[in-house]
Amino acid sequence: MTIIRTPRGQARPMRGMIVFIAALVLLMIFLRVIGLITDWFWFQEVGYQTVFTVTLLAKIKTGLLFGAGFFTVLIVNLLIAFRLSRVPLYGDPAAAFGNPIREMEPAVLKALIIAGSLLIGLFAAVNGTAQWESLLLFLNPTPFGVQDPLFMRDIGFYVFQFPFLMHLDGWLKFVLIVTAVATGFVYLVRRSFLFIPPRIWKIAPAARIHLSILVALFLIWGVFGTWMDLNELLFTKRGVVFGPGYTDVTTQIWILKLMMGLYGLAALAVIFFAVRPDWRIPAAAIVLLILVSVLGRGIYPSLIQKFQVVPNEIAAEKPYLEKNIQYTRLAYGLTQMEEQEFPTEENLTARDLQKNNLTVKNIRLWNHAPLLMTYSQLQEMRTYYKFTGVDNDRYTINGEYRQVMLSPREISYPALPSRTWVNEHLTYTHGYGVVLGPVNRVSAEGLPEFFIKDIPPVSTTSLKVTRPEIYFGENSNEYVFVRAKQPEFDYPVGDKNVYSRYEGTGGVPLSFLKKLIFAVRFGSITMLLSDDITSESRIVYHRNVRERVAMIAPFARLDHDPYLVVSPEGRLVWFVDGYTTTDRFPYSEPTPQVGNYIRNTIKAVVDAYDGTVRLYVSDPADPIIQTYTRIFPGVFKPMAEMPEALRNHVRYPAGLLAIQARLYQAYHMQDAQVFYNKEDLWSIPGRQTGGGHQQAMDPYYTIMKLPGAEKEEFILLSPFTPSMKDNMSAWMAARCDAPHYGKVVVYKFPKQKLVYGPRQIEARIDQDTVISQQLTLWQQHGSNVIRGSLLAIPIEKSILYVESLYLAASNGQLPELKRVIVAYGNTIAMEETLDLSLQKIFGGGPVRDREAPAEARKPTTAAEPSDRLSALEALGHLRKAQEFLRQGNWAGFGEELKKTVESLTAIEKKGGRAK
């Protein structure tokens, strides 16, 4: 046999390519090792090394399992093919292909086989590490104690073990396909095939036997894959509900079982071909398998669905509708909800309001968006401070249970006066303080009152902030250094700044080696060269509270809205709700981006100063959290270990209730016939948005006394109306206070009685001539009218509606609360305060909450709101101009000064017209 050697000129580019690939792989490995080292430092800092070690070991195991498995199967078959094809069976005609690889020496081809197998195995290992969680769940299942209604297996099998088996099925099929193709290629290169179209098609016996065995293995594994498809039926939707319906149960089960048998027969036929080279038998078996798959899984069920099920849908699908209703209610916790009748009456009196004075005094008058705008104008103090959100909570303040709204003052790094590396990572390291005020108090100017405000924080109540620094929040940058030579900016005082030095335990202590490692991790040569970073310095990273919790509990779906709490010691603490979810709950209706099962199982607490993280299990009955508790021992604590002062601020997540309410619209109907016909379908009332569109009302928090309860409590509410109608049909209340935390009650109105819904009340407000005239008058004089959310407040056996009206100057950013609308029954009142509106409807003096007296808030002419708002706008521009002047930002100073002059000129012109 003549060996054609590879010329040196052709070998050099190949060697260069190999060197480049090897260098790239080494660089990737190096960066990954650096990432692991810095992650280990971080987990040491927070005290959760268990999470790091368990996760890393699981990734190594899955990487070895899938990488070594792929490499072993591939290289064994390729070397067997290389050995069996050592002597070409056919001669010169095969050379007609002209394949350059055939010109290589056997040693070069063998080296290429080994290198290629190693490279593919490496990629398979890297890809396989992503299955670390699936492997841990597979090895640590927890039974749900509930069986699926089709195959009678515990649901825990589908949640914990089925996902890993699905990946294993797809992985092995891919391995066998790649191995068969690569093996065939080796035989082709080694001249074990002779293809001279159109008549000469020959294959060496060794190659035929080898490839036949691989194809037979693929078909045998197809039996397992089809069994997986059989179980996958539980998560399909063909008919009216999610899950297998009449068509799937009556056609697909026996079709799939038949295909399992056909896969086995096809494998035997291929093995027969390996012994006796008659291609007709395996071809017939494979064609039969394909025909059964196409006809049985595609055409046949479609015909049954169209001509048998659809004309008799309710009769055919009723048993499966019942299963869907049962398992959906179970998966979303709807079975735990209590339903009660709410015998609504219209006999509410001033005496009733006085009896429920705590409820009335905690009616929220401030909407989140206008309040956030007002906070930004009044309390940001500097351009680089930012309020990113407003949270609702409750505190006992001066001995009284109060609902409050609060917002943390964080650093906005894009708004820094000079975005240098020193400023972003050494100087401006933390936000400072919070703004906190009651939900119902308004100053004489229509602005919110504060319990806590200013820098440093000034409190007018028993609630104090003693540790106002916010190193960990929602608006943090990637990393900062503390205890460096460069002093940290703490807070501004007039034209000067106060500096501080970090005294907490957060951050990773540094040495020169660690400094070098972190410089590589964050790609910063400045970090390495900075003299401000010493051996006493610490690097603080993973500062975003959601990111921080996600590092420790990577399996949890975290709520998008963390909320801040002021502890009795005056520290700022973040709460983050975590959910365990799955999309493998049989027959349960899925929710987009969630799955079809959800539980609020984790309450994470993060200290805003030192970053300490504590994870508490709020639903220990959930099998998923039970499994993760075993996987990560010592990571989760029972709720009883949470300090009582913090436990008093645990709340039912609004996001979870929104999901449950959306499903409860239909799944409160438990009769399959009623469900199918949508006879009692509910909907969530819509509210008017700024663009004139309708958006479903979000659940909202309030303090109220539930029917039959002894005292007021913190409640999360969501109302319902009948589908396609606007009257109220029910309201859902999630209780947030101990000992009833987590209990959800649905209060249903009598169907024979009309109870006005939110949209009907909004329509009646729009039709009220006095209100509409006042709104038109304001708008004609340069004021922008902002309508707040309409809140439905249950009191006694009645529903009271409250909506706030805000005014802002055109293009202004300082809304003022000018009117409060109250609707009860057929009566609507709009006055300057909630108290006055209630008096107008009910008479008497229901509640006084130390608001500014009515005479202090004199009625104004139509032009006065606009003038006052313009003046406040001018003052705001002047303050910004002074700030830019202090920073030396002349362009910003000139722009703000120009706006100040424009605002004052507008006021002067209005005054001239008035004369």
Element housing 240 (H / E): none
Contact 554, 55 (CB under 8 A): yes
DSSP 427: I
Q: What angle do CA 755, 758, 760 make, to 5 degrees?
A: 70
Kindly report the pTM of this predicted structure.
0.87
* pLDDT for res 881: 67
Cα–Cα distance for residue pair 471/430, rounded to 1 Å: 5
| Virtual torsion, Cα 206, 208, 210, 213, nearest 10 deg | -150
3 state SS of 345: coil
440 sits in which H/E element = none
Distance CA 217, CA 225 (A): 12
Phi and psi angles of residue 144, each rounded to the nearest 5 degrees, phi first: -80, -20
Residues 6+ apart with CB under 8 A from 565: 393, 572, 573, 574, 575, 646, 649
> Which residues, including other chains, have CB under 8 Å from residue 762's CB and lie 6 or more apart?
687, 688, 790, 803
C-alpha dihedral sign at 467, 472, 473, 479: positive
Q: Can you tell me whether residue 890 is helix, strand or coil?
A: helix
Output the 3-class SS for 670-737. Answer: CCHHHHHHCCCCEECCEEECCCCCEEECCCEEEEECCCCCCCCEEEEEEEEEECCCCCCCEEEEEECC
pLDDT of residue 499: 94
Is the Cβ–Cβ distance between 395 and 737 less than 8 Å?
no
Phi, psi of 703 (to 5 degrees): -105, 125
Strands 686-688 and 694-696: antiparallel
Over residues 824-854, the pLDDT tens digits come to 988 899 999 999 999 988 876 544 454 433 3
Angle at alpha carbon of residue 732, lines to 646 and 241, rounded to 5°: 115
Greatest pairwise CA separation for the chain in angstroms: 114
Contact 578, 572 (CB under 8 A): no
Which run of H or E residues covers position 369? helix 368-379
Judge whether 67 and 128 are in contact, CB under 8 Å.
Answer: yes
**Residue ranges for the chain with pLDDT beneath 70:** 1-18, 87-104, 194-200, 688-693, 812, 844-892, 896, 908-915
CA distance 377 to 195: 81
Read off the amino acid at residue 424: E
SS (H, E, C) 267-320: HHHHHHHHHCCCCHHHHHHHHHHHHHHHHHHHHHHHHHHHHHHHHHHHHHHHHH
CA distance 79 to 73: 10
Closest C-alpha to 678, from 730, 722, 726: 722
708: left (phi over 0), alpha (psi -120 to 50) or beta: left
Alpha-carbon gap, residue 915 to 912, rounded angstroms: 5
DSSP H stretches of helix in 535-681: 545-552, 623-631, 644-647, 654-667, 672-677
Instruction: Confirm if 186 and 224 have CB atoms less than 8 A apart.
Output: no
Q: What local confidence, expressed as pLDDT, does residue 174 receive?
A: 96
DSSP 139: H
How many other C-beta atoms lie within 10 A of the C-beta of residue 25? 13
Cα separation, 550 vs 547, whole angstroms: 5
CA dist 382 and 254 (Å) reads: 71
Question: Residue 293's CB: how many other CB atoms inside 10 A?
Answer: 15
- The torsion of the CA quartet 587, 592, 595, 597, rounded to 10 degrees, works out to -70
Return d(Cα 132, Cα 631) in angstroms, integer.
12
Q: What is the pLDDT of residue 785?
A: 87
DSSP state of 642: S
What pLDDT is stored for residue 185 in this prediction? 87
With tokens 């949470």, the residue in question is: 642
C-beta separation of 613 from 549 below 8 A: yes
